[in-house]
Amino acid sequence: MTGNRTFTMIKPDAVESGHIGPILEKITAAGFKIVAMKYTQLSRRDAETFYAIHKERPFFGELVEFMTRGPIVAAILEKDNAVEDYRALIGATNPEQAAEGTIRKLYATSVAENAVHGADSDENAAIEGAFHFSGREIF
Ligand code: CMP
């Protein structure tokens, strides 16, 4: 059975380049309902915890620097088949491989600065959503 919620972040690069509005428009136009959202900035500790799974990767330091350099938008999105459908909407991690019309094709500039995050499983969507939001911030 597939779940109906996913977790996303609009990353510092897309916030800096003024793309919060167009990205939220793409998300809602694709049928996702925003059930939680906040404008915030990750501390170094937040980023190291959130991305702990990538701790041994050579790009971990760069990833933490990038994700903490400015504000982000964090959100929980609701739709049938949310995780899979949202990953299709954002496109491949590397924007050079992202399909036309996807959020990363439109707004990402590199594999590191790739505009948005999307949870890769129902389990991680729940963990990542709980990392950012308390129960009374989810509607
Ligand atoms: P995301 O898939 O949201 O979560 C892991 C992040 O690590 C990924 O987006 C990129 O921002 C970053 N990342 C993945 N691969 C690389 C890489 N080869 N070099 C730098 N950053 C990367």
CA distance 118 to 84: 9
Question: Considering the domain boundaries, does residue 56 fall inside one?
Answer: no
Q: Given 19, 54, 117, 132, which residue is catalytic?
A: 117
Question: Considering the domain boundaries, does residue 49 fall inside one?
Answer: no
Q: What pLDDT was estimated at residue 3?
A: 83
Question: Considering the domain boundaries, does residue 130 fall inside one?
Answer: yes
Which H/E stretch holds residue 49? Answer: helix 44-50
CATH number of the domain enclosing 34: 3.30.70.141
For the Cβ of 62 lying below 6 angstroms from any atom of ligand 1, the answer is yes
Cα(59) to ligand 1 centroid in Å equals 7
Q: What pLDDT was estimated at residue 1?
A: 47
**Full-model pTM:** 0.96
Q: Are 137 and 38 contacting, i.e. CB atoms less than 8 angstroms apart?
A: yes
Q: How many domains does the chain have?
A: 1
Question: Considering the domain boundaries, does residue 123 fall inside one?
Answer: yes
| The two three-digit tokens of residue 28, written as one number | 């809602």
Cα(117) to ligand 1 centroid in Å equals 9
> What letter does residue 99 receive in the DSSP assignment?
P
Question: Considering the domain boundaries, does residue 58 fall inside one?
Answer: no
Question: Considering the domain boundaries, does residue 119 fall inside one?
Answer: yes
Cα(136) to ligand 1 centroid in Å equals 31
For the Cβ of 92 lying below 6 angstroms from any atom of ligand 1, the answer is no
Write out the residue range of the structural domain in which residue 14 sits: 5-42+72-137
132 is catalytic: no
The pLDDT tens digits of the residues spanning 27-64 come to 999 999 999 999 999 999 999 999 999 999 999 999 99
Question: Considering the domain boundaries, does residue 52 fall inside one?
Answer: no
The pLDDT tens digits of the residues spanning 69-124 come to 999 999 999 999 999 999 999 999 999 999 999 999 999 999 999 999 999 999 99
